[in-house]
A = this chain, B = another copy of it.
């Protein structure tokens, strides 16, 4: 680290520069710059606490929130930076950074326009998304844009504009193959972890399927969170290409390859708000598919009273939006509307869902049949859509790939190619939730079950979540466990149980 003399010299020579100091503070997505309250730049530029400030180093700039210091944490002439800001700038301790007012955010008038009902055209969407990807939006602006798109639902033209803007703001993969197969589940159904099985079957049957998945938005686990318990998923584009060249497919985290990077920045705020409206959902799904270079996509929409999509009418409207926007971008789609009345499989949470996936792939006798059947149906649809399998025969071909072990063998090779297969971590704390009233299981609230799993620590704590012991229609006796809550810490287990205690009707039973 440079001494105080150096700092003074740097400051004297260039009035709007300070010497960077890495403070060893992790503020995640939010870049923060710390400056002394008596700093000459704060005075001359009129910076006050919580101002947004442009911090430049070389050719890079980040927009950071200002925290002012009145203690001896910083010496005169120093600017403290959080780890994220240092990394994004590529700046080290003792190097000189420039501080200035950030340029006005002209795209905010586009956000306001949307709030008041103006059409979000390609220009407007592009200005907003470009500023988001450049990390110029504070949480306040991200939240306003997301809320406006839910309160003033996007129409088809707006979805196309937003999708196109999101694709153009990131990288775009191109493959020497055709077709390039893909699938996506419009979330909301805990445990519905068909993707790894579908990729294993499809690639075992010769399709090319370079699958990029996301982490959880509002659920206890995204496919990427679950897959990470079985193999590395944060592969760069070159590594991903190598895996696909070798094995015909992969299951990686889309964020690591910067496909539609706006989506990842929006998802964090959508998760906090528990809002992802139809327009954002369509743009999120299809921008990832386009950027991933997919040509043929099967879309699974589970419908149920506590799923994300609750009625057939809503599912059909969403299906129509997805199809029309996909058509505009020359992507062939097949929509599968599936039963979303209860969770799929037994586990909810990254590791617990991975156990179910392994059971199906390995053909274990106690493997959850609902997960197996759904994966076969989706893989079958994909084989028909992209693989030339005769309509009506896809499921038979898919089931065969599971039964003859070729899908399981392929899955293991993909995991090895991604960096090595892992054993999912086990929870250190477990506690069953017994039934209150014997009878027949009549309703399972997927949303509140997901909440229990999240309170228990999922998806950040990989082994956390719950194991479901009953399905709709099962007969249960008094004190028979309905589900078992799993966590990695006692604090989180008791936190989940505070909620469980107030919600004894998550699984409802009736007289048989």
Q: Any chain B CB within 8 A of the CB of A88?
A: no
Question: Which chain A residues (65-121) contact chain B, with CB distance < 8 Å?
Answer: 67-73, 82-83, 101, 104, 108, 111-112, 115-117
Are the C-beta atoms of A73 and B73 separated by less than 8 Å? yes
Q: Any chain B CB within 8 A of the CB of A391?
A: no
For A112, list chain B residues within 8 Å (CB). Answer: 273-275
* In the bound complex, CA of A457 to CA of B47 (Å): 10
Are the C-beta atoms of B24 and A69 separated by less than 8 Å? yes
Q: Any chain B CB within 8 A of the CB of A364?
A: no
Q: Any chain B CB within 8 A of the CB of A57?
A: no
Contact string, A17-59, partner B, CB cutoff 8 A, digits 1/0?
0000011111111101010010000011110111000000000
For A205, list chain B residues within 8 Å (CB). Answer: none
Given that A67-B26, A138-B272 are contacting pairs, would A457 and B46 also be in contact in the complex, using a CB cutoff of 8 Å?
A: yes
Question: Which chain A residues (449-470) contact chain B, with CB distance < 8 Å?
Answer: 457, 460-461
For A83, list chain B residues within 8 Å (CB). Answer: 70
Pick from B27, B44, B139, B269: contact of A491, CB below 8 A. Answer: B44
Q: Any chain B CB within 8 A of the CB of A150?
A: yes
Q: Any chain B CB within 8 A of the CB of A182?
A: no
Are the C-beta atoms of A69 and B139 separated by less than 8 Å? no
Are the C-beta atoms of A73 and B23 separated by less than 8 Å? yes
Are the C-beta atoms of B25 and A144 separated by less than 8 Å? no
Contact string, A143-186, partner B, CB cutoff 8 A, digits 1/0?
11011101110000000000000000000000000000000000
* In the bound complex, CA of A48 to CA of B27 (Å): 10
Are the C-beta atoms of A46 and B491 separated by less than 8 Å? yes
Shortest A140–chain B CB gap in Å is 4
Q: Any chain B CB within 8 A of the CB of A406?
A: no
For A28, list chain B residues within 8 Å (CB). Answer: 48-50
Are the C-beta atoms of B26 and A37 separated by less than 8 Å? yes
Q: Any chain B CB within 8 A of the CB of A329?
A: no
Are the C-beta atoms of B26 and A147 separated by less than 8 Å? no
Given that A28-B49, A28-B50, A49-B28 are contacting pairs, would A71 and B23 also be in contact in the complex, using a CB cutoff of 8 Å?
A: yes
For A491, list chain B residues within 8 Å (CB). Answer: 44-46, 101
For A274, list chain B residues within 8 Å (CB). Answer: 108, 112
Task: Choose among A30, A46, A48, A104 the residue with the greatest number of B CB atoms under 10 Å from its CB.
Answer: A46
Question: Which chain A residues (214-251) contact chain B, with CB distance < 8 Å?
Answer: none
Q: Any chain B CB within 8 A of the CB of A497?
A: no
For A30, list chain B residues within 8 Å (CB). Answer: 50
Q: Any chain B CB within 8 A of the CB of A490?
A: yes
* In the bound complex, CA of A127 to CA of B108 (Å): 29
Question: Which chain A residues (463-507) contact chain B, with CB distance < 8 Å?
Answer: 488-492, 495, 499
* In the bound complex, CA of A111 to CA of B146 (Å): 13
Pick from B104, B144, B150: contact of A116, CB below 8 A. Answer: B150
Are the C-beta atoms of B49 and A27 separated by less than 8 Å? yes
Are the C-beta atoms of A48 and B152 separated by less than 8 Å? no
Contact string, A417-454, partner B, CB cutoff 8 A, digits 1/0?
00000000000000000000000000000000000000
Task: Choose among A24, A50, A144, A461 the residue with the greatest number of B CB atoms under 10 Å from its CB.
Answer: A144
Pick from B23, B143, B461: contact of A140, CB below 8 A. Answer: B143
Q: Determine the residue in chain B with the shortest Cβ distance to A488.
A: B46
For A457, list chain B residues within 8 Å (CB). Answer: 46
Given contacts A28-B50, A147-B148, 20 further A-B pairs with CB under 8 A are A25-B34, A25-B67, A26-B37, A26-B49, A26-B69, A26-B70, A27-B50, A30-B50, A46-B461, A46-B491, A73-B73, A108-B273, A112-B275, A138-B139, A139-B139, A144-B144, A144-B146, A144-B147, A144-B275, A147-B147
9 residue pairs A–B, Cβ–Cβ below 8 Å: A25-B71, A26-B69, A28-B50, A44-B491, A112-B274, A115-B151, A116-B151, A117-B151, A138-B139
| The 10 nearest A-B residue pairs measured at CB | A24-B71, A151-B151, A143-B143, A147-B147, A28-B50, A144-B147, A26-B49, A140-B143, A45-B491, A26-B68
